[in-house]
Copies of this chain bind each other. A is one copy, B any other.
Amino acid sequence: MILTLTLNAALDVTYRVDRLRPRGSNRVRSTAERAGGKGINVARVLHALGRETVVTGFAGGAAGETLRRDLAAARLPERLLPIAGETRRTVAVVDESAGDTTILLEPGPAVPTEDWARLLDHVDRLLTQASAAVFSGSLPPGAPEDAYGRLVRLAHAHRVPAVVDADGAALRAALAAGPDLVKPNADELAAATGLADPVAAAGALVDAGAGAVVASLGPDGLIAVTPQGSWWAMPPEQLAGNPTGAGDAAVAALTLGLVDATPWPERLAEAVALSAAAVAAPLAGDFDPDVHRRLRALVDVQPLHSQRSS
Of A96-104, A186-194, A246-254, which stretch is located at the interface?
A: A96-104
Q: Is A65 an interface residue (CB 8 A)?
A: yes
Q: How many residues of A contact B (CB 8 A)?
A: 30
- CB-nearest residue of chain B to A98: B23
Do A15 and B62 touch across chains, with their CB atoms under 8 A apart?
Answer: no
Residues of B within 8 A of A63 (CB): 62
Measured in the bound complex, the distance between the Cα atoms of B90 and A91 in whole Å is: 12
Given contacts A62-B62, A66-B62, contact A22 B105 (CB under 8 A): no
Flag A16-41 by CB within 8 Å of B: 1 or 0 each: 01001111111111110000000000
Measured in the bound complex, the distance between the Cα atoms of B100 and A15 in whole Å is: 21
- CB-nearest residue of chain B to A30: B107
Do A104 and B23 touch across chains, with their CB atoms under 8 A apart?
Answer: no
Q: Which of A15, A61, A93, A104 has the most CB of B within 10 A?
A: A104
Residues of B within 8 A of A29 (CB): 107
Q: Is A106 an interface residue (CB 8 A)?
A: yes
Do B24 and A102 touch across chains, with their CB atoms under 8 A apart?
Answer: yes
Do B66 and A26 touch across chains, with their CB atoms under 8 A apart?
Answer: no
Do B103 and A24 touch across chains, with their CB atoms under 8 A apart?
Answer: yes
The distance from the CB of A164 to the nearest CB of chain B, in whole angstroms, is 23
Residues of B within 8 A of A100 (CB): 22-23
**Copies of the protein in its oligomer:** 2
Measured in the bound complex, the distance between the Cα atoms of B211 and A164 in whole Å is: 70
Do B106 and A23 touch across chains, with their CB atoms under 8 A apart?
Answer: no
Given contacts A20-B22, A22-B22, A62-B63, contact A28 B102 (CB under 8 A): no
Q: Which of A21, A62, A101 has the most CB of B within 10 A?
A: A62
Do A104 and B62 touch across chains, with their CB atoms under 8 A apart?
Answer: no
Q: Which of A24, A65, A98, A102 has the most CB of B within 10 A?
A: A102
Do B26 and A105 touch across chains, with their CB atoms under 8 A apart?
Answer: yes
Do B105 and A28 touch across chains, with their CB atoms under 8 A apart?
Answer: yes
- CB-nearest residue of chain B to A101: B23
Measured in the bound complex, the distance between the Cα atoms of B21 and A228 in whole Å is: 46
Residues of B within 8 A of A106 (CB): 15, 28, 31
Residues 107-128 of A contacting B (Cβ, < 8 Å): 107
Measured in the bound complex, the distance between the Cα atoms of B153 and A17 in whole Å is: 38
Measured in the bound complex, the distance between the Cα atoms of B154 and A302 in whole Å is: 79
Do A25 and B105 touch across chains, with their CB atoms under 8 A apart?
Answer: yes
Residues of B within 8 A of A93 (CB): 104
Residues of B within 8 A of A98 (CB): 23
The distance from the CB of A238 to the nearest CB of chain B, in whole angstroms, is 23
Residues 34-66 of A contacting B (Cβ, < 8 Å): 61-63, 65-66
Do A28 and B104 touch across chains, with their CB atoms under 8 A apart?
Answer: yes
Do A26 and B103 touch across chains, with their CB atoms under 8 A apart?
Answer: yes
Given contacts A22-B22, A91-B91, contact A17 B62 (CB under 8 A): no
The distance from the CB of A144 to the nearest CB of chain B, in whole angstroms, is 22
Do B22 and A107 touch across chains, with their CB atoms under 8 A apart?
Answer: no
Do B105 and A27 touch across chains, with their CB atoms under 8 A apart?
Answer: yes
